[in-house]
Amino acid sequence: MSDHPNSDHKPDRLPNERGFDPHEEAAYADDTLHRVHQQLQREKEEPTEGFSPIPIFLLFLFGGLVFWAGIYMANNSGEFRPDIYNPEWKPGGGGNETAAAWDPIKRGDRLFRNNCAACHQADGNGVPGSFPPLASSPWVVGDEARLVKILLRGLQGPIEVMGTTYNGAMPSYGDNSGGAGWSDRDIHAIATYIRQSWGNGAPPVSEETVAAVRAEIADRDKAWTAPELLEMHPME
Amino acid sequence: MESWDGYLIFIAAMGAMFFTSAVLVLVWALKHKQFSKLNQGARVIFDEEEPEGVHTDYFPGEAAKAREMLAKEEHKPLKHATR
Amino acid sequence: MSPLISFFTSIDPRQKTGVPLKVQLSEIDRQMRVPVIMFLCFAVLWLQIGTFFAMVSSIKLHNPEFLGDLSWLTFGRTRSAHLNSVAYGWANNAVFGVGLWIMARLCKVTVRHAGILITAGIFWNIGVAAGVFGILSGGMTSIEWLEMPMQVAPLLALSYAMIGVWGVIMFRYRALGHVYVSQWYILGGLFWFPWIYMIAQVMILWVPARGTVQAITNWWFAHNVLGLWYTPMGLAAIYYFLPKVLGRPIHSYYLSVLGFWSLALFYNWAGVHHLIGGPIPVWLISAGIVASVMMVIPAIVTAINHHMTAVGNARAVWCSPTLRFIVFGAMSYTFASLFGSAMALRDINVVTHFSQFTVGHAHHGAYAFFTMVMFGSVYFMVPRLLKREWPSAALIKVHFWGTAIGIGIMLFALHIGGWIQGEMWNELKDGAPVYSNLDVSQALVKWFLSRSFAGILLTIGHVAFLVNFVWMLAGGKSTRYKEGPTLIGDKEGSTL
Q: Nearest residue of B to residue C236 by CA position?
A: B45
Instruction: Tell me the nearest-neighbour CA distance from A87 into chain C, angstroms.
Output: 6
Go through the domains of chain A in sequence order and give each one's CATH number: 55-100 (no CATH), 104-232 (1.10.760.10)
Cα separation, A94 vs A91, in Å, equals 8
Q: Are C115 and C163 in contact, with CB atoms under 8 Å apart?
A: no
In a domain, B71, yes or no: no
Q: Which residue has the higher pLDDT, B78 or C386?
A: C386
Chains touching C by CB (3 or more pairs below 8 Å): A, B
Say whether C315 and B63 touch across the interface (CB within 8 A).
Answer: no
Cα separation, C232 vs C213, in Å, equals 27
Say whether A43 and B81 touch across the interface (CB within 8 A).
Answer: yes
Instruction: Tell me the nearest-neighbour CA distance from B4 into chain C, angstroms.
Output: 7
Q: Are C231 and C99 in contact, with CB atoms under 8 Å apart?
A: no
pTM of the model: 0.75
Cα separation, B25 vs C75, in Å, equals 44
B1, pLDDT greater than 50: no
Q: Is the ipTM of this complex over 0.95?
A: no
**Chosen from C252, C266, C290, C304 to mutate, greatest number of chain A CBs within 10 A:** C290
Sign for the pseudo-dihedral over CA of C103, C27, C115, C92: positive
Instruction: Tell me the nearest-neighbour CA distance from B31 into chain C, angstroms.
Output: 12
Say whether B57 and C210 touch across the interface (CB within 8 A).
Answer: no
- In DSSP notation, C223-265 reads HHHIIIIIHHHHHHHHHHHHHHHHTS--S-HHHHHHHHHHHHH
Residues of chain C with C-beta less than 8 angstroms from the C-beta of B25: 264
Instruction: Tell me the nearest-neighbour CA distance from A79 into chain B, angstroms.
Output: 16
Cα separation, C218 vs C144, in Å, equals 7
Partner C contacted by A59 (CB < 8 A) = no
Say whether B43 and A52 touch across the interface (CB within 8 A).
Answer: no
Which pLDDT value is given to residue B45? 81
Q: Are C350 and C328 in contact, with CB atoms under 8 Å apart?
A: no
pLDDT tens for chain C, residues 1 to 496: 566 666 666 666 666 666 676 677 777 878 888 999 999 999 999 999 999 999 999 999 999 999 988 999 999 999 999 999 999 999 999 999 999 999 998 888 878 788 889 999 999 999 999 999 999 999 999 999 999 999 999 999 999 999 999 999 988 888 877 888 899 999 999 999 999 999 999 989 998 888 888 899 999 999 999 999 999 999 999 999 999 998 888 888 778 888 888 888 878 888 889 999 888 889 889 999 999 999 999 999 899 888 888 887 888 888 899 999 999 999 999 999 999 999 999 999 999 999 999 999 999 999 999 999 999 999 999 988 888 888 889 999 999 999 999 999 999 999 999 999 999 999 988 777 889 888 999 999 999 999 999 999 999 999 999 999 999 998 765 544 444 334 433 333 333 3
Provide the Cα torsion C46, C52, C54, C58; round to 10°: 180
Residues of chain A with C-beta less than 8 angstroms from the C-beta of B78: 42
Which pLDDT value is given to residue C178? 81
Least confident of A131-145, B41-55, C31-45, C285-299: B41-55
Supply the mean pLDDT for chain A.
Answer: 78
Residues of chain B with C-beta less than 8 angstroms from the C-beta of A4: 40, 43, 46, 52
Residue closest to C421 by CA, chosen among C437, C409, C408, C403: C437
Assign residue A13 a region: left if phi > 0, alpha if psi is -120 to 50, beta otherwise?
beta
- Residues A41-96 have pLDDT tens digits of 444 333 333 345 677 888 898 899 999 999 999 888 888 887 888 887 777 655 45
Cα separation, C53 vs C51, in Å, equals 6
First to last CA, chain B: 59
Which pLDDT value is given to residue C488? 36
Chain centre to alpha carbon of residue C479: 33
CA distances from A48 to A38, A44, C124 (A): 18, 8, 48
Cα separation, A206 vs A224, in Å, equals 22
Residue window 124-153, chain A: list those with CB within 8 Å of chain C. 127
R_g over Cα of chain C: 23
Partner A contacted by B63 (CB < 8 A) = yes
Domain hosting residue B17, numbered range: 1-34
Tally the residues of chain A. Answer: 236
Residues of chain A with C-beta less than 8 angstroms from the C-beta of C436: 117, 121-123
Cα separation, C190 vs C173, in Å, equals 16
Cα separation, C89 vs C53, in Å, equals 13
Partner A contacted by C123 (CB < 8 A) = no
Cα separation, A216 vs A214, in Å, equals 5
Q: Are C148 and C132 in contact, with CB atoms under 8 Å apart?
A: yes
Partner B contacted by A32 (CB < 8 A) = yes
Chains touching B by CB (3 or more pairs below 8 Å): A, C
Which pLDDT value is given to residue C12? 66
A36, pLDDT greater than 80: no
Which pLDDT value is given to residue C147? 95
CA distances from B54 to A103, B70, C488 (A): 76, 11, 14
Residues of chain C with C-beta less than 8 angstroms from the C-beta of B71: none
In a domain, B9, yes or no: yes
User: What is the total count of domains within chain B?
Assistant: 1
Instruction: Tell me the nearest-neighbour CA distance from B32 into chain A, angstroms.
Output: 17
Which pLDDT value is given to residue B29? 84
Say whether C287 and A73 touch across the interface (CB within 8 A).
Answer: yes
CB pairs under 8 A between A and C: 99
Residues 6+ apart with CB under 8 A from C150: C141, C201, C205, C206
Nearest by CB to C283, from A80, A109, A121: name it.
Answer: A80
Q: Are B25 and B33 in contact, with CB atoms under 8 Å apart?
A: no
Partner A contacted by C236 (CB < 8 A) = no
Q: Which residue has the higher pLDDT, A136 or B15?
A: A136
Partner B contacted by A35 (CB < 8 A) = yes
Cα separation, A189 vs A107, in Å, equals 6
Which pLDDT value is given to residue B65? 80
Say whether B51 and A11 touch across the interface (CB within 8 A).
Answer: yes
In a domain, B22, yes or no: yes
Say whether B29 and C486 touch across the interface (CB within 8 A).
Answer: no
Instruction: Tell me the nearest-neighbour CA distance from B83 into chain A, angstroms.
Output: 6
The DSSP H or E segment spanning A169 is strand A164-170
In a domain, B77, yes or no: no
